Amino acid sequence: MKPRPIPAAARPSDESLQALAEAIASLQDAGEVVAFLRDLCTPAELEAMVDRWAVVPLLLRGVPYREIYELTGVSVTTIGRVARTLERGAGGYALAIGRCARPSARNTR
């Protein structure tokens, strides 16, 4: 399928995206972020984000796409999209995963 350009009206403005980022950054802990995300996103949107995030550490460890699919149930297409974003994106995945790896930034079980 040929990609279609996203109409300008459908894209978030830089100001709107910045406002959303500031709202998320203002939250105090993971529990508050979860509450915000549950209010902001549909269950399907939230599931898509959770799926993408689950794939990141596996890709960084070099796990093959098929194995990631078997472990997570996330489609190979989505896995590929996340891999491309890790390589050519804005660096947000790497930044977040680096901070989550620090003991002070996560709950240890």
- Kindly report the three-state secondary structure assignment for every residue of 31-93: HHHHHHHHHHCCHHHHHHHHHHHHHHHHHHCCCCHHHHHHHHCCCHHHHHHHHHHHHHCCCHH
Residue 25 pLDDT > 70:
yes
DSSP single-letter state for residue 19: H
pLDDT higher than threshold 80 for residue 105: no
**So what's the pLDDT on residue 2?**
60
- pTM of the entire predicted model: 0.77
Average per-residue pLDDT for the chain: 89
Give residue 58's Cα distance to chain centre.
13
Per-residue confidence band for 30, with pLDDT thresholds at 50, 70 and 90: very high
Question: Is 36 within 8 Å of 24 (Cβ atoms)?
Answer: yes
Please state, for a pLDDT cut of 70, what percent of the chain lies above it.
82
The pLDDT of residue 44 is: 98
Residue 10: enclosing H or E segment and its boundaries?
none
pLDDT of residue 109: 32
pLDDT of residue 12: 74
What is the average pLDDT across 69-81?
98
- Which residue is associated with the tokens 């995963």? 97
What per-residue confidence (pLDDT) applies to 40? 98
Is it the case that residue 5 has pLDDT exceeding 70?
Answer: no
Question: Cα separation of 66 and 58, whole Å?
Answer: 11
In degrees, rounded to 5, the angle at the alpha carbon of residue 15 between the alpha carbons of residues 12 and 20 is 75
Domains annotated on the chain, with CATH = 28-105 (1.10.1270.10)
